[in-house]
Structure 1
Amino acid sequence: MTLSLKRLFSRSIVDGPEVIGPEAPPSPRSNRRRKMMLVVVAGTLAFVAAVASSYYFAMKPVPLRIAVGPANSDDVKVVQALVQAFSRDHSKVRLRPMFTDGATASAKALADGTADLAIIRGDLEVPKNARAVATLRKNVAVLWVPAVAKGKKGAPKITKIAQLSGRKIGVIGKTPANINLLNMVLRQYGIEPEKVQTVQFSTTEVAEAVKDQKVDAFLAAGPVNSKITSDAIAASSRDGAPTFLAIDAAAAVAQNFPVYEASEIPAGVFGGSPARPDDEIKTISFSHHIVARQGLTDAVVSVFTRQLFSIRQQLISDFPLAAKIETPDTDKDAVIPVHPGAAAYVDGEEKTFLDRYSDYIWWSLMGLSAMGSAGAWFASFMRRDERNANTSQRDRLLDMLAVARKSNSLEDLDRMQT
């Protein structure tokens, strides 16, 4: 023992001032306790930092590239409105538009992996990695014959699609997809495409084509309330009411080509007086879809789908086309398979933050608990010699105290230290 027993018990035997020696250095036990405290503090800080980092990355905005085209189309306007709305609301998913030449180029961008999302046309070839997220809008095919200008002699009047053989048909829009649509309808009525002459017009060339009587009939494809279609029909109505051609075989077309559906054009939807058309017209329809890459995570697609349908109501007043956005077909036999993330939103099975990460949080807590238990056992194991030494010294000190109380002189105390 480093302290003299004489100093410990001298006050009980001989009166005198207490003698205080030099301060003892810190014991190994206090050093170990300090180190353990530092380890605990460091571990706590590391855990808090890990939780904060996980929350930051979980809440960090996710940019998605969306391919859309052509320029100035309704599709581009919808996407631009969504971009602004998502940014204004500080949404988790943000859109980065990739402008293309049209739906075909947008589909290729998705297939190549350069885009995360794309707006594609349902009656074109769909990329193998495309999964449906939403139906942007439904389009109808409109076939009509302009009235013959007064004073001009024309061919016999056309009242049925079967009478288009040998005629010249103007297709509104430069996309090849509309030509394919026309050819499909003609074949349904037994007319080979080679038996008709087709010419494509831009939306600004329709009025001139009607004025010069360049074509016998027109085909347009777009939403029922499309301004482009309405303006084209109005331009062809200056010399009289146009004749609308019904696709009576719409159900058969839909049966043979699942990308199409039998549909109707409501009476008077194109305005005018008298109303255009004056009665409901049978036709076929197809959809424009918002699709996502198959490899895009379910969580991201689910969040995007929720944002899309939440923001839709806010956009309708300023952008009526947003009202056409619909949930995707979740049936297993859908033409475009639905993305699991979108299906989770539609079916009400969207996972929350805790649903997605509860297993990770649970196992992390279990791991920390196991590490704490292992650390406590290791610290106890490292202090086993110290505990044995402390026990031995305590027993010896108690024995010495008992002997010291019976001592009658300082010499007896000195002999106890030898």
Structure 2
Amino acid sequence: MTFRLKRLFSRSIADGPEVIAPVGPPSPRSVKRKMTLIVLAGTLALVGAISSAYYFAMKPVPLRIAVGPPNSDDVKVVQALVQAFSRDHNTVRLRPVLTEGATASAKALADGKVDLAIIRGDLDVPKNARAVATLRKNVAVLWVPPAAKGKKAAPKITKISQLSGRRIGVIGRTPANINLLNIILRQYGVDPAKVTKVQFSTTEVAEAVKDQKVDAFLAAGPVNSKITNDAITASSRDGGTPTFLTIDSAEAIAQNFPMYEAAEIPAGVFGGSPARPDDDLKTISFSHHIVARQGLSDATIAAFTRQLFAIRQQLITDFPLAAKIETPDTDKDAVIPVHPGAAAYVDGEEKTFLDRYSDYIWWSLMGLSAMGSAGAWFASYMKRDERNNNSTLRERLLDMLAIARHSESLEELDRMQAEADAILRDTLNCFEHGAIEEGSLTAFNIALEQFHNAVADRKALIGMIPPEPARLNRVQVA
């Protein structure tokens, strides 16, 4: 409220006070309506902020995964995961990025073009790669096809050391298989330069055997790989039985090359009659890994790992290879360091929503508390003029209390009482606006009660005093 205070206090007490009314004070009902709207707007804003935070926290996170080559088993498994994650409305979704093979996938991860990749463990692992899961384990299979009927048989090959000067067919176009063969040959003292290597796809195996293009074959894949099984079947001429070459130095190779492990191929795993192979076969194995880019959110990778192993059982019927998915090696000396998010899932230390965001929630509450305190101070600061005006009017009321006790005029007392009513209206409005507290209102009420008592007593006293004689004579003369 704005009062013309200068006019109020410029007049002397002898001239009598002037009753001044406030200029356009807002009604308490209007103030309450505004405060209600402000509180409602603040509540809606808070609910909107919480809803937005929850939406962004629960919003599906798309991860790009590099996989190849096209039409491979890896691509089929990834496509099945994409469909399963989408169907179950999981928080992590996959976006396949097809590549030419594991080498290209590793490069895409190293360049930061994808978030996940399926790579071979025996290739150069990108420095920013962190293991999430082992997709499958692959074994190396070396075999010699049976001699064709009607043709002079070459000296029989029964050992890897006899491959010097021979032609070896490598199934698969990737250079990783050539590198694998060279490691095996060197372990047995065979100079890789003295061995002719021919790479071809599985569809070319039958033609290679028919034309006697190669003396032995190498295939790398899962134990139950259809590609390897088809290649062995195609190389078995006229029902003959191929000769499988055992890699009995597998443990030594694993010691020199940590990306490889010693493994065994069970007897009869490739079928046929007689069984192929006819006895357990020592060999080396390596893994295909699902790796994530270093720096990717721990919570995101933990969620992906959890989804992966939860959906694995559903995929086994259509994709038996899904049964081979294993948790990553969490040891500190692992060939590929494990991603912290995947390690948290494997070790059962995955953080909950409150664990991840408790610090943010705590700091948000502290911030809201600070903002509330600042807002209260600012509101009090904005009402300082109104509070000061009311304090001045309260002092005026106390002054009028002293004047009323000595006043000789009923008109003066009426004017002061009207002014006190205006001050009362202003005080109540200030209380409604929050400019003054309940304690100040109580103090004002005491002063106002004393003022009204003083006015009533003074009016009673003036009514008991007889009029002056001179004044009475003038009235009689008139």
Shorter-chain TM-score above 0.5: yes
How far off is 1:362 after superposition? 1.4
Give the match for residue 123 of structure 2.
Answer: 124
Structure 1 residue identity aligned to 2:150: G
Cα distance in 1, alignment partners of residues 304 and 388 from structure 2:
62
The count of aligned residue pairs is 391
How far off is 1:58 after superposition? 0.5
Cα distance in 2, alignment partners of residues 243 and 362 from structure 1:
69
Cα distance in 2, alignment partners of residues 385 and 39 from structure 1:
25
- Aligned counterparts, 1:350-365, within 5 A: 350-365=350-365
How far off is 1:32 after superposition? 6.5
Q: Does 1:398 align with 2:401?
A: no
Segments of 5+ residues of structure 2 without an aligned counterpart are 1-20, 398-443, 464-478
How far off is 1:261 after superposition? 0.2
Change (3 A) 1:207 1:379: same
Cα distance in 1, alignment partners of residues 393 and 257 from structure 2:
90
How far off is 1:74 after superposition? 0.7
How far off is 1:198 after superposition? 1.0
Cα distance in 1, alignment partners of residues 322 and 237 from structure 2:
32
Moved more, 377-386 or 313-322: 377-386
Give the match for residue 72 of structure 1.
Answer: 71
Cα distance in 2, alignment partners of residues 311 and 396 from structure 1:
79
Structure 1 residue identity aligned to 2:245: L
Structure 2 residue identity aligned to 1:109: A
Q: Deviations over 1:290-347 (max 9, x none)?
A: 0111021111111111111111111112211111111100111111111111111111
Give the match for residue 388 of structure 1.
Answer: 391
Give the match for residue 344 of structure 1.
Answer: 344
Structure 2 residue identity aligned to 1:353: F
Cα distance in 2, alignment partners of residues 50 and 210 from structure 1:
70
Cα distance in 2, alignment partners of residues 220 and 391 from structure 1:
101
Cα distance in 1, alignment partners of residues 275 and 321 from structure 2:
23
How far off is 1:405 after superposition? 3.6
Structure 1 residue identity aligned to 2:166: R
How far off is 1:39 after superposition? 4.2
Cα distance in 1, alignment partners of residues 264 and 394 from structure 2:
96
Give the match for residue 169 of structure 1.
Answer: 168
How far off is 1:38 after superposition? 4.5
Cα distance in 2, alignment partners of residues 97 and 408 from structure 1:
97
Give the match for residue 308 of structure 1.
Answer: 308
Give the match for residue 197 of structure 2.
Answer: 198
Cα distance in 2, alignment partners of residues 69 and 284 from structure 1:
23
Cα distance in 2, alignment partners of residues 386 and 269 from structure 1:
98
Q: Deviations over 1:357-383 (max 9, x none)?
A: 011111111221232233334434535
- Aligned counterparts, 1:181-260, within 5 A: 181-239=180-238, 240-260=240-260
Q: Does 1:284 align with 2:284?
A: yes
Cα distance in 2, alignment partners of residues 318 and 303 from structure 1:
24
Partner SS state of residue 204, structure 1: helix
How far off is 1:209 after superposition? 1.2
Structure 1 residue identity aligned to 2:451: M
Change (3 A) 1:387 1:328: farther
Moved more, 112-121 or 31-40: 31-40
How far off is 1:70 after superposition? 0.4
Partner SS state of residue 205, structure 1: helix
How far off is 1:29 after superposition? 7.6
Cα distance in 2, alignment partners of residues 344 and 187 from structure 1:
40
Give the match for residue 334 of structure 1.
Answer: 334
Cα distance in 1, alignment partners of residues 74 and 459 from structure 2:
108
Identity %: 78
Please give the TM-score of this superposition, normalised by the length of structure 2. 0.77
Give the match for residue 19 of structure 1.
Answer: none
- Aligned counterparts, 1:132-143, within 5 A: 132-143=131-142
Instruction: Determine if contact 2:147/2:237 at 8 Å carries over to the other structure.
Output: no
Partner SS state of residue 77, structure 1: helix
Q: Relative to total residues, which structure has the larger helix share, 1 or 2?
A: 2
Cα distance in 1, alignment partners of residues 27 and 370 from structure 2:
27
Cα distance in 1, alignment partners of residues 393 and 234 from structure 2:
106
Cα distance in 2, alignment partners of residues 166 and 23 from structure 1:
114
Structure 2 residue identity aligned to 1:319: F
Cα distance in 2, alignment partners of residues 386 and 122 from structure 1:
82
Cα distance in 1, alignment partners of residues 229 and 459 from structure 2:
124
